[in-house]
A and B are shown apart, each in its own frame.
Chain A
Amino acid sequence: MYQINGYLEASTISEAIDYLNKNDNAQIIAGGTDVLIKTRERKGGYVDRDLVGIMRIPELKGIKIDAEGNIVIGATSSFTEVEENEIIKSNIPSLCTAVGSVGGPQIRNMGTIGGNVANGATSADSASTLFALDTIVRIASKEGIREVPIEEFYLGPGKVALNKGEILTSFVILKKNYKGFKGDYIKYSHRKAMDIATLGCSVMIKINGQIIEELKIAYGVAGPTPVRAKGAEEYGVGKEISQEVLNEIGEMCLKDTSARDSWRASKAFREQLIRELPKRAINNAIGGGFNA
C-alpha cells in the first residue's frame, strides 16, 4: 500500500521546478520503480510525500544526436526506449546491454535512465556505462541549466548532486567519448533477470591493431558509488593487448575500488570478480581471443 499525500502531473520543466521550489514536501517521481518501492516499504522520507510526476514533460523525453555529434538522452527515456533506440544501438551497444539487464520487461518499460542515476545507487545498471562514457549530467533549475560530470554527480550512497528545485533533464555523451570505441557491460548477479548486480563492470576501449589507444573501466557495487578504475586505465593505454596485460589490468582495478563484506557477498569474492570482469568485458568488446 502506498501512502502518498498528493500528486502533481507536471507538463513542463518550469512547472515542475516551481512546485519543487515552493513545496518542501515535494518528491519527483518518474517511472516509480524506485520511489514506489520505497513508499510501499514505508522507508523514511517516502511516506506522505507530494509526488511530482515528470513523465509527461516532452523536453525530458527522446534520444538524439546534436550538431556536434554528441548523443543526448532525455532523462525520462525508459530502459526499453534506450535499449531499442537506433542511435544507441549503433553507437553505444554496451549501453543497450546495460539497460537491458535491469529487472524484467515490466520494470524496463517503466523505469527511466534518469531515475536510475538520480536514485544514487551504486548498483544502478546504467551508471557504470555512463561513467565509462564520461557522461555529462544536465540539470535544470530556475537559474537555468548546469552541467556536471557524472563522476561528480554521485556524492555517496543514495546521495546525488541535485539541489532543491533541480531536475535532472538529460545525459550528454560527447562524440569523442563514444566514437571509435567498443564496449561491453557485464552484470554479475545471481540470476539472469529480476536481480540486482553483485558487481557490474563496463568498459569502453579504443584499439589500433592490438594497441590500446584509450580505455575506460567503470564499476557498480565496487564501492559506495559507481567508480572508475583510472589506475588500470592509465596502465592499459599504449599497451599491446595480451593475456598478461589483461591480467594486470584486472589486478590494478583493485586499487581504485573498495569492495565490502556483506551478507550478500564477501569482499574476497567481489574482489575476484573485480579482477575478472574487466578482462572478460574487454575480451567481449574486442571480439574475443583471450582466455578471460
Chain B
Amino acid sequence: MENTAIGKSQIRWDAVAKVTGRANYTGDIPQKEMYHGKIYRAKIAHGMVKSIDVSEALKVPGVIKVLTPDDVSSYSFPTAGHPYSLDPKLSDKADRKILTRHIRLYGDEIAAVIAKTELAAEEALGKIKVEYEEYEFYLTPEESLKEGALEIHEGTKNIIADTTAEIGDLETGFKEADILIEHDCYTPTVQHCQMENQIAYAYKDVDGRWVCVTSTQIPHICRRILGQAFGMPWGRFRVIKPFVGGGFGNKQDVTIEPMVVAMSMAVGGKPVMLDLHREEVFACTRVRHAISYKMKFGFKNDGRIVAGDILAISNNGAYASHGHAVVAKGGGMVTALYKVPNFKYHAMTVYTNIAAAGAMRGYGVPQISYAIETFMDTAARKLGIDPFDLRKINMTKAMEENPLLHMTQYTMGLRECIEQGKERFQWEKRVEEVAAAKKAGKLRGLGFAAFAYTSGTYPKGLEAAGCRLVLNQDGSIKMMVGATEIGQGSDTVFRQMVAETVGVPVDMVYADQVTDTDTSPFDTGAYASRQTFVSGMAVKKAAEELKEKILLAALEFAEEGQEAETVDLDVKDCKVIKKSDGSLYTELGDLALKTYYHLNKGICLTADVSNKCIQNAYPYGGTFVDLEVDKVTGKVKIYNILNIHDSGVIINPLMASGQVEGGMTMGISYALDEELRYDSSTGKPLNNNLLDYKMPTMMDVPDLMVDFVEIPDPIGPYGNKSLGEPPNCSPAPAIRNAIADAIGVDINAIPITPQKIIEVLNAKDKEV
C-alpha cells in the first residue's frame, strides 16, 4: 500500500511561527518581577580561590544577593545528558559543583550575583575581588600527563578512563601483513555555535516545587540532575523546555540549570533568569573533544586489512561531562566500516584546563572518521590501489555482526552510496577536469571519505521513549512525546508517523509546544540521532494501539445492520472504511464524538505507551568533493561537494535535505575554519567570540548536493535509520583528502587554514 505521510516532504509545523518571530523561546516568556543572575568567572586557568570579597558588589544599586561557594548546595553532580545508570560503576563522573573554590579552567564559576536588572548584575561582577593561589595549567593531554603534573581532580592522575577494545591478535595480524602503514592525525577543539545561547530561569511554584524553564535537549535527564545537585527527591523539580534554538549536543548537558535554581533558592523562590553571553558559551559550556590518533595498520598487497592498531587520546578539558564515552565510540565505528580481523583500539580520556568537552553532533565520529578515512586515503596511495576499491575490499556487509558492538546490521548501503554517489557527482568527468587543471598548474584535487554511525546508543546506553495519543472530539489527534524538539524537526516527523499509521492527514495531528517533565511522557531526549529511530518506535506503537481502539470503537458504535469485523476495517483520511470494498463505515469525527458523549457506552480513546528499544541500525554514507587551493593565499575553493546517505527510508525528504546541508556545513568548517584556541601563557581562550572563531557565513558555504540511497531497514520503525549526526562525519576527511590530492602533501591536523597550507607549500618549495 502506498504511504500517505511517510516519505513525503512536509513543512515543519512550527516553521511559520519561528520565521515570523511568534514562537516563544525561553527568553521570550514573561515572568513577573524577574531577577537576573550573572556568574563571576575565574581569571586564571588553574588554582585555588584564597579569598572572595563581595562587599563592594553588594553596594551596587539593584543587587539583591551575591553568592559564594559557601552559600549554595555543595553536592557534587554529573552533568552529562546520559540516562541514569542503575549500575553505579557505569555512572557519569560527579565532579562538578554549582560554585567552586578549586579553579580548573579559565572562566570557572566562583561566585554569582542576583540583581533586579542584568546591568546591575554585570556592574556588580566588576566589583567582586578574588585572590588566587595559581597553579601550573595544562592545555593538552601531553602536558597534563607529563611526569609530576598536578592533578586537576584529586586521585585521577588526570586520566578519566583508559580502555582497550580488542579483536583477534594484533601481533599475529601484523606478521601476516605484507605492508605496514602508519598515520598520525589530530582533530581540534571546536564548538557547536548553536544559535540560542544557554538560557534558563527558575522559580518556586505554588505547590512548593522548583520549576526550571530551560533551553535544553534533555528535560527528563535535567530533572534528575537537579535532584542530584541539591540532594533532593527528583519529583521536587519540574523542567519545562519551550522552543529551542538549537543544541548540537551543547544542551545535552546540564550546564546552567543547577546554578539558576540555586539562585532562585537564594531569593526565596522568586524567578531568576540566567542568560549566558556568547563569550561565556564558548569558554565555559561544552566543546568537542580534540583527539589525537596514532595508527598503524597491516595490509596484504591486495589491499586487505589484516591488522589495525589505534591509539586515541582525547582532551576532555576541566570536567568529565560525557567523558570517555565519546572517544570510546570510535572503535566500534571503525569495525562498522571495515573488517579488521586483528584490531586494537586503545582510547584514553584526559583532564586538562580547557573548556569541558561533552557531546557534540557526531559524538566522536567526526574525529574517528577523520582518522580512519584520511588513513585509508594515504594507505590507498601507498598500496597503489584506487581508494574506492580499497574501501570496497575491506567494507563490512549486511547481516554481519559488529564484533565490538555485538549488534547485527541488517542493511549496509555504503557500496550503493559509492556507486550512486560517483554517478551523481560525475566522478569520472571530475577526474578529467582535475587532471586538466593540474596540467595547467592549478592546485585542484578530488577527495572522498566514508562514515558509519549508529541509531541511538543501545547497547551502550538505555533507549527508552514514550508517546501519548488522544483522539480528540473531532477526530484529530493530540500527540505528546518526551522526545525533544530542539529545531531538528522531530515533532513534525512524529506527526507524519502518527498520520501514516492511524490513517489521518498530517495536519490532523497536533504536537506540543513545550516539553514538560510533569506532563510529557518519559523520553531521554534529543541526542545520538535517536529520535526518529528510537522515539519513532514508541510513536508507532502508540499509533497502532490507538488505531486498534478506533476500529474496536467503530464496531461498538456500529449502526444496526452495519456489520463488519475489525480485520476488514481500516482508517484512511479520517474515515473508517471497509477494506474489502473501500466503502465508508463511519467518519472518524462522528465516531470520536460518540466515544466522548454517548450517555452509556464508549470511552475517550487514548494510547499511552513506553517503549524500550534494544536494537540498533547503522547508517552509512560519504562525501565527495572537488576543490582548488590558491597557491599564494592558501584559500580553498570548493567547486562541488556531495553528501550521500544510506539512512534507510527517508521520512521527510525536505527536512532530511536540510539536516544534511547543515551537517555538511559543520563538516566543511571543521576541515577548514574552526578551532577554539587558548593563550599558552595564561590559559585564557583567545577566540571565544564569533568574530575570531571562524564559523562560516552563508556566503562562505558552497552549493551543497545531497542524495540518499533508500534501503529499508527492518529494525527502524518505518524502515528508517538515523540521519541527525551522520552528515558532519565525512566532509572533513574528504576535504583533507582532496587537499592532499591538490597540493601533493598530507596535512593531517585540522583545521587546514590558509596559513597552514601556505606554510606547508613554502616548506615543500624549500625542499625542492
Binding site for B on A (CB under 8 A): 1-3, 42, 104, 188, 190-196, 263-266, 268-269, 272-273, 276
Contact = CB atoms under 8 A, between A and B. Distances in A.
Contact of A272 (B632, B677, B691): B632
Contact of A269 (B691, B692, B700, B758): B758
Interface in B595-642: 632-634
B399 interface: no
Given A265-B755, A266-B755, A269-B755, A192 B697 contact: yes
Contacts of A193: 697-700
6 contacts: A1-B118, A191-B694, A194-B691, A196-B691, A263-B677, A268-B759
B21 interface: no
B354 to A, nearest CB: 15
Contacts, number: 55
A3 B119 contact: yes
Nearest to A189: B694
Main secondary structure of the interface of B (DSSP, over half): loop
B633 A192 contact: no
Interface string B113-145: 000001100110010000000000000000000
B634 to A, nearest CB: 8
Nearest to B630: A276
The size class of the interface chain B forms with chain A is 20 to 34
B712 interface: no
Contacts of B698: 193
Nearest to B686: A263
Contacts of B632: 272, 276
A191 B697 CA distance: 7
B166 interface: no
A104 B691 CA distance: 12
A192 B755 contact: no
Given A3-B119, A265-B755, A272-B758, A195 B633 contact: no
Given A191-B696, A193-B697, A193-B699, A276 B633 contact: yes
Contact of B633 (A3, A188, A196): A188
B587 interface: no
B673 interface: yes
A42 B122 contact: yes
B122 A3 contact: yes
B691 A195 contact: yes
Contacts of A268: 759, 762
Contacts of B686: 263
A192 B700 contact: yes
Contacts of A273: 633
Given A1-B119, A263-B686, A268-B762, 4 more contacts: A42-B122, A193-B699, A193-B700, A269-B759
Contacts of B692: 264
A100 B632 CA distance: 24
Closest 7 CB pairs of A and B: A192-B699, A1-B119, A269-B755, A190-B694, A193-B697, A193-B699, A276-B632
Nearest to A41: B279
Which among B632, B677, B696, B753 has the greatest number of chain A C-beta atoms within 10 A? Answer: B632
A35 B755 CA distance: 31
Interface string B668-710: 0000010001010000001000111010111110000000000
Contacts of A191: 673, 694, 696-697, 699-700
A88 to B, nearest CB: 23
A194 B697 contact: yes
A188 B119 CA distance: 37
A268 B698 CA distance: 30
Nearest to B123: A3
Contacts of A1: 118-119, 122
A265 B757 CA distance: 13
A238 to B, nearest CB: 27
Nearest to A48: B123
Contacts of B699: 191-193
Nearest to B695: A191
Contacts of A264: 692
Nearest to A263: B686
A44 to B, nearest CB: 11
A37 B118 CA distance: 17
A188 B635 CA distance: 10
Interface string B158-196: 000000000000000000000000000000000000000
Contacts of B759: 266, 268-269
A101 B697 CA distance: 13
A42 B700 contact: no
Which among A104, A193, A269, A273 has the greatest number of chain B C-beta atoms within 10 A? Answer: A269
Interface in B719-761: 753-755, 758-759
A254 B290 CA distance: 37
A205 B228 CA distance: 70
A89 B732 CA distance: 41
Contacts of A194: 690-691, 697
Nearest to A277: B633
B347 to A, nearest CB: 30
A84 to B, nearest CB: 19
Contacts of B677: 263
A268 B697 CA distance: 27
Contacts of A195: 691, 694
Contacts of B679: 263
B124 to A, nearest CB: 12
A42 B123 CA distance: 9
A190 B123 contact: no
Nearest to B634: A269
Contacts of A263: 677, 679, 686
A117 B694 CA distance: 25
Nearest to B690: A194
Contacts of A265: 755
A46 to B, nearest CB: 13
Given A263-B686, A272-B632, A272-B758, A190 B673 contact: yes
A2 B117 CA distance: 12
A191 B699 CA distance: 8
A178 B126 CA distance: 50
B27 to A, nearest CB: 14
Contacts of B690: 194
Nearest to A199: B633
